[in-house]
Amino acid sequence: MAEKYPHQEIRESGPPEHFREDYDEISIRDLILTLWRSRATIVIASLAAALIIFTVAGAVYLTQQKANITKLEFKLEFQGADRGHYPNGMKFSSADILANSVLDKVYRENDLQRFIKFSELKAALAVYQTNDKLSFLEYEYAQKLSEKNLSVENRQRLEAEFLEKKKNLLVPTYSLAFSQEQRILSLPGDLTAKVLNDILNAWALYADRVKGANQYQIELVSRNILTKEDIQSEDYLIGTDLLRLTIKRIKQDLRKLIELPGAKIIQVGKEGTSLIDLNYRINDLDQFKVSPLFGLIQHYGLTRSPELTTAYLENRLFEANLKKEQTTSDMNVYESSLDQYLRRASTAASGGQAGGGAALPQAGLTGNVPAMIPQFDGSFLNNLIQMAQENTDAQFRQNITQDMIRSGLLQGDVENEVKYYEKLYSMIKGSDLASPESKADEGLVKTAIEQIQKTQMLVYEQLMQAIDQMNAIYKELSSQNLNPDSVLYTVTSPVVTSIERTLTLKKVLIYIILALFFAEGVIFVSVLLAGNGRRAESR
């Protein structure tokens, strides 16, 4: 068999002795012995590596580029700063302080082109917010709430304390910093301090004029909504209807203002006009001035162009019917969406109870918080997440309910508009519309036309006066409620200049430690490889 199959003899006897030794694994004992024999080499190499690393690190730290950092600390005073929006509801960002329009104003007024380019100025500025107390607070309560033997009552008490203290610590304090290389001083020290203060002043003006920080975010009509020429150039009925629509829009704006804090008691002008006075005056104009004009037009059948008047009413009626269909469709969408959402929530809650889990807390339909605080037994983070989800669920239902209410009110208003134009259209169609020249009693017709035109101009002037007074009340409300003194910020400390390095000592120490670990690893691997090579040569 051995002669026929010679390779089987090799497989049975195995490889030669020197091959067998090469394939044997190196034991831990051999590694330790190798390192012990080379301990002197390892110590010398480690000391040399440490010396080199410390020398390089020290040279980099001492020779690195230094910068003069000028800081101005300030605190935002306007309402909503801690939530990231201006008093009127518009979003606030610290980037607004360094907006191009703000910096451009400061750059030109201080004639900074003598010292620095605009792009360099913008790159050297930064706004940042720090709150070390908040970090310590989160760490403190995380430790307290991590205790396993904590009861439910104590956990809820600690969570309430944490949220209250966190709210008090959320003070919007910022620092405006200007960084410039020490070897290339771009701005003198006194000018740098002035520039930082000017930036805050320019931002305050920007926030007021551009962002409207001192005004409620409400759109109001102005005198430009209607002109005398618009009324005089149109047919009698169309001009009168334009006045009626203007009255309707002013009423809508009055309803917006009346909901603002203090709106019912504020007065403007020598006469002390209030929003209540304006509301009564507008209603009287509609009832006793504008509405009778339609009857006068219908009674005498006055029109400059019967076809134009009829076409106008038909078009208005068509548009009103389209709006009616749209509002009806919106209501159906909201009702269907809310019904489907509640069904899914009910199914999920019943499924959770059937499986032994805790049911979802039932929140009020129009509330923005749960009806009762749930009993938590999980970690603090999970508790906060669960509360946020429940609040979001209630908030969604509240929002969709409010949308349904708004849509329902709009639907009622549109339906009234449809009925109004239907009645007006039928009244005009049933009358004998004709031009004034074709009327038999020219004297009465002429008197009626003069009365219509005189009343239209009187209503127009009173409407423009009401618009001016309404906007004056709006500005006064914004000034008193949002920021009476027009102060958006307060400087909390004087300008401070310090010399800082880009690479801090803390970072240098971290890099040194990492480098030492890497160097030791290289030394150990090199020693082991060298020892393995010597063993191979000895064989």
Instruction: List the chain domain ranges.
Output: 65-131+171-215+488-501, 227-304+435-481, 331-430
pLDDT at 455: 95
pLDDT at 9: 45
Instruction: For residue 470, name the pLDDT band (cuts at 50, 70, 90).
Output: very high
Which of 451, 17, 146, 466 is closest to 275 using CA atoms?
466
Most confident of 52-56, 183-187, 476-480: 52-56
Burial of 3 (0-12, 13-18, 19+ CB in 10 A): exposed
Q: DSSP letter string over 55-75? A: HHHHHHHHHSPEEEEEEEEEE
Rounded distance between C-alpha atoms, residue 267 and residue 366, angstroms: 34
pLDDT at 389: 57
For 428: left if phi > 0, alpha if psi spans -120 to 50, otherwise beta; the answer is alpha
- pTM: predicted TM-score of the whole model, two decimal places: 0.53
DSSP letter at 372?
Answer: S
Burial of 481 (0-12, 13-18, 19+ CB in 10 A): middle
Selected residue with higher pLDDT from 7 and 338: 338
Rounded distance between C-alpha atoms, residue 389 and residue 381, angstroms: 12
Token pair belonging to 488:
């958006």
pLDDT at 170: 62
Question: Could you give the angle at which helices 291-300 and 236-258 cross, rounded to 10 degrees?
Answer: 170
Selected residue with higher pLDDT from 183 and 249: 249
Beta bridge partners of 302: 434
For 31: left if phi > 0, alpha if psi spans -120 to 50, otherwise beta; the answer is alpha
Lowest-pLDDT range of 13-17, 89-93, 311-315:
13-17
Q: What is the mean pLDDT of residues 227-233?
A: 93
pLDDT (tens digit, 9 = 90+) per residue, 295-333?
888 888 888 888 888 899 999 999 999 998 998 888 888
DSSP letter at 360?
Answer: P
pLDDT (tens digit, 9 = 90+) per residue, 44-67?
989 999 999 999 988 887 777 777
Q: What is the mean pLDDT of residues 85-111?
A: 87
Beta bridge partners of 68: 180, 499
Lowest-pLDDT range of 111-125, 314-328, 348-362:
348-362
Is residue 181 predicted with pLDDT exceeding 80?
A: no
Q: What is the mean pLDDT of residues 131-146?
A: 70
pLDDT at 466: 95
For 486: left if phi > 0, alpha if psi spans -120 to 50, otherwise beta; the answer is left
pLDDT at 230: 92
Q: Where are the beta strands (DSSP E) in 113-265?
A: 125-128, 173-181
Q: What is the mean pLDDT of residues 514-531?
A: 87
Sign of the dihedral defined by the CA atoms of residues 22, 26, 27, 32, in that order: positive
Residue type, 24: D
Q: Are residues 174 and 199 in contact, defined by beta-carbon separation less than 8 angstroms?
A: no
Query: Residues 6 or more apart from 495 whose CB is under 8 A from it?
Result: 70, 71, 72, 192, 193, 196, 197
Selected residue with higher pLDDT from 162 and 361: 162
pLDDT (tens digit, 9 = 90+) per residue, 22-34?
444 557 777 788 7
Residue type, 15: P
DSSP letter at 82?
Answer: G
pLDDT at 277: 94
Radius of gyration of the chain from Cα atoms?
A: 41
Q: Which fold has domain 65-131+171-215+488-501?
A: Alpha-Beta Plaits (3.30.70)
pLDDT at 436: 56
Is residue 104 predicted with pLDDT exceeding 90?
A: yes
Q: What is the mean pLDDT of residues 460-473?
A: 95
Lowest-pLDDT range of 237-246, 397-406, 420-429:
397-406
Is residue 294 predicted with pLDDT exceeding 70?
A: yes
Mean pLDDT, the chain, rounded, equals 78
pLDDT (tens digit, 9 = 90+) per residue, 372-409?
444 444 454 555 555 555 556 667 777 778 888 888 88
